Structure formats: C-alpha cells, structure tokens
Amino acid sequence: MSRLDSVIRRLTAQRDCLAEAARRIAGVPGPILEVGLGNGRTYDHLRTLLPECEIFAFDRQIAAHPDCIPDARHMILGDFQDTLPAARWQIGQKAALVHADIGTGDNAVTRRLAEFVGPALVPLLAPGAVVVSDQELSIVGAEPLASPDGVAPGRYFMCRMPT
C-alpha cells in the first residue's frame, strides 16, 4: 500500500469513528477533549460535527492552521504528562468524548505515550463517554467498541465507559 493510500485510509477511519462516537454520546453531558491538536483538522471537524459541544484541545505546542486554534481557555499547552492529570480542574467537568491522536512516528515513543495517556484519561471520562484513538489505549473499565463498517480492525480504536 502506498503512503498516500495509507493516509487516506487512516483519515477515513478517523472520520468514520468520530461520526460513530458522536452518535453514541448523544445525551452524554460534558465537553470534548482533543488530545493532540496537531494541525487542527480533527478539531475543526469536531466543531462541525458537534457544534453545541465545548472542545478543549491539548498539545505540546501550537502548530495548527490559524483558523483551527482554540481560544486561550480551551487550548491546554504542555506535555501530556503534566496537562492531562491537571485537566479535570481546568475543564470543570468530565468529558463525553475524547479523541486522542498521539502517534509520533517513533513506535517506541508512541507506545510509551499510549501507556501513559490511557490511564490518565480515566478520571476525565464521564459515564458513557467514548474514546476514539489512533493508538490502542488501556482504559480501566472501558468496553472496546467495534469499528464502524469499512474501518479495518486495528486502524483506529474506540471504547466506551460504562453508564
């Protein structure tokens, strides 16, 4: 598979999983967390997909398109190991949806980051919250969700907290 085909499949999987997650969180109170703002494409998509929801974005530094950068209250800058544990107090409530796009291109670094992020999300998740991620995360108590039709197993990951 070419790199172009691979990125198309990844982005299609991401879009389809986010649409499924949006459907599943209907009625679940709480904001959305975008863990890994990157260039802001997914943040922008989430604003369109769930316009009534408050979105908080996390990243080490801002590298997004200027139209895709949250305001200062909703942009949480710094290392995830510092910002995620403190986020509950800044956000003020538990999240209904988390999208974590944390792949770094370095498998060992990404694996260590995923090992941290999964458990760090647990206190931030509302009952019934859905987590969508480019990496498989270990989230105690969460139930894995099947990928939407057309998304290959292992391409993107979804889980849901019990209600």
Q: CA-CA distance, 112 to 132, in Å (whole number)?
A: 18
Q: Are strands 55-59 and 75-77 parallel, antiparallel or unpaired?
A: parallel
CATH assignment of the domain containing 45: 3.40.50.150
pLDDT of residue 87: 94
pLDDT of residue 105: 86
Residue 126: enclosing H or E segment and its boundaries?
strand 125-133
Q: CA-CA distance, 12 to 2, in Å (whole number)?
A: 15
Is the pLDDT confidence value at 83 over 90?
A: yes
Task: Give the chain's domain count.
Answer: 1
Mean pLDDT, the chain, whole residue set: 96
In this predicted model, what pLDDT tens digit does every residue of 90-146 receive, in sequence order?
999 999 999 999 998 899 999 999 999 999 999 999 999 999 999 999 999 999 999
Interval 77-84 mean pLDDT: 96
| Structure-token pair, residue 24 | 């599943």
pLDDT of residue 119: 97
Is the pLDDT confidence value at 1 over 90?
A: no
In this predicted model, what pLDDT tens digit does every residue of 10-25 receive, in sequence order?
999 999 999 999 999 9
Query: In percent, how much of the chain has pLDDT > 70?
Result: 100
Q: CA-CA distance, 61 to 7, in Å (whole number)?
A: 23
pLDDT of residue 110: 95
Which domain does 54 fall in, by range? 3-160
